[in-house]
Amino acid sequence: MGRKSTIDLLPEPFKDALNALLRDPAVTQLEAAEKVNRLLVQAGEEERVSKSSVNRYAMRMDKIGAKLKQSREVSKMWIAELGSAPQGQVGHLLNEVVRNLAFDTAIALSEGEDIVPPKLIRELSIAINNMEKASSENEKRTAQIRQQAREEAAVELTKELKNDGISEQVEASIKRILLGAG
């Protein structure tokens, strides 16, 4: 792999300043390079940035920004589609996203690019797995709470109806209906 970019070697405050300058449409890349170099001189730093390094960095950030924007649009579409669906479907979507990310990374690595560190993909997979487990536990807990509420309602209802003189057979039918058994 080649040498790190001059921009990547900048201390964070200068890189942040460059990013802010590049986001300002009124500032050209040449002006951004000059302003960052002035800041570096004022701070006593020896590193300097060239217009071409700023241009390469800006192009890389634009490319990443475009991918991020596209990813957000796709996410919005799927969230709209799956918003009211069970969590499991969202989990399947996330798993598919991670699978695609792993594939894109493998292709990029084979072409000498390094777009997403494989370690990040692993961490993302673990996070999705943990989210799915938590979602599943939440669904189970919600089902248990609903079942308990139905049981309590059945007990209360049958108590009331017993006072009105219902038969045990009718009471059993009511419990079956409320509790979803048979």
The domain spans of the chain are 1-83
CB 79 within 8 A of CB 97: no
pLDDT at position 139, please?
78
pLDDT interval class at 17 (50, 70, 90): very high
pLDDT digits (tens, 9 = 90+) for 37-46: 999 999 999 8
**pLDDT recorded at residue 182:** 47
Is pLDDT of 33 > 50?
yes
Query: Does the predicted model carry a pTM greater than 0.75?
Result: no
Q: How far apart are CA 73 and CA 66, in angstroms?
A: 11
**Alpha helix ranges (H) inside 6-86:** 6-9, 12-23, 29-42, 51-82
Mean per-residue pLDDT for 121-141? 75
**Is 168 exposed, middle or buried (CB count within 10 Å of its CB: 0-12, 13-18, 19+)?**
exposed
Residue 95 has pLDDT above 70, yes or no: no
